[in-house]
Amino acid sequence: MTRLIVWRHGNTDWNAGGRVQGQTDVPLNDVGRKQAVEAAALLAVLRPDAIVASDLRRAADTAAALAARTGHTVSYDERLRERYFGAWQGLTTAEVAAQRPAEFARWKAGNDVVGGDVETLDDLGKRVADGLQDAARLVPGGLVVVATHGAAARQGVAHLLGWPLEQVRTLRALQNCHWVELTSDGERGWQLAGYNVGVFIDRPVPPAV
């Protein structure tokens, strides 16, 4: 059985400030680095066979915390980057709502096409799912940890599972440094084994943007 851990990166100043990151290369803050170390301690116990990460710093540095514990070298894949948010990137969600209300309403409603050069959910799901599939193929029958981003993780996992958009909206956003666990036995395909797993932190969940 192949196991895949899809791990959201640690906290950043833009997460904390409700600012849309998308593919802007924002680093972890002190909280995020602490989260990565604490989560890595849990994940190392699972004895992963390989680590793959988005090449954006917040995901790469999260993966590095696990690599430091396991001795594995991290592989990087651009397909695991966060959703591209186009004209929204760098704005707070409140600013988006005020300046681009029609687009914001479509995003809040979970529409596939938002506008403002924001990547569609279908395109996001396909590219991330392709990256996840290739990561899993690195060690068939093993455990691979993939460090990625909130919206990317949710949509990529949903695409692997064949879920419609309406079902994806029933999933709560991943907390920083929490993960999804998937398994595949070659007969039934990918199955969801765990969601929003990680070190419990009693604080509001930052938006996956």
Structure confidence at residue 126 as a pLDDT band (50, 70, 90): very high
Query: Across residues 154-173, what is the average pLDDT?
Result: 94
Query: Across residues 77-81, what is the average pLDDT?
Result: 98
Residue 146, domain member (yes or no)? yes
Residue 52, domain member (yes or no)? yes
pLDDT given at position 186: 76
Among the ranges given (70-84, 102-116, 119-133, 193-207), the one the predictor scored with the smallest mean pLDDT: 193-207
Residue 105, domain member (yes or no)? no
Residue 9, domain member (yes or no)? yes
Asked whether the predicted pLDDT for residue 111 surpasses 60, the reply is yes
Residue 131, domain member (yes or no)? yes
Query: Across residues 92-119, what is the average pLDDT?
Result: 96
pLDDT given at position 40: 98
Q: Supply the range of the domain harboring residue 41.
A: 2-84+122-197
Structure confidence at residue 151 as a pLDDT band (50, 70, 90): very high
Asked whether the predicted pLDDT for residue 124 surpasses 60, the reply is yes
Residue 154, domain member (yes or no)? yes
How many domains does the chain fold into? 1
Give binding residues for substrate as ranges.
8-15, 58
Query: Across residues 66-84, what is the average pLDDT?
Result: 98
**What is the pTM for the complete model shown?**
0.93
Asked whether the predicted pLDDT for residue 71 surpasses 80, the reply is yes
CATH of the domain at 11: 3.40.50.1240
How deeply is 16 buried, as exposed, middle or buried, from its count of CB atoms within 10 A (0-12, 13-18, 19+)? Answer: middle
pLDDT given at position 1: 93
pLDDT given at position 199: 84
Give binding residues as ranges.
8-15, 58
Residue 94, domain member (yes or no)? no
* Comparison of pLDDT for 176 and 187, the residue scoring more: 176
Asked whether the predicted pLDDT for residue 123 surpasses 70, the reply is yes
pLDDT given at position 127: 98
How confident is the model over 5-54, as pLDDT tens digits?
999 999 999 999 999 999 999 999 999 999 999 999 999 999 999 999 99
Structure confidence at residue 187 as a pLDDT band (50, 70, 90): confident
Whole-number average pLDDT of the chain: 94
- Residues serving a catalytic function are 9, 82
Residue 209, domain member (yes or no)? no
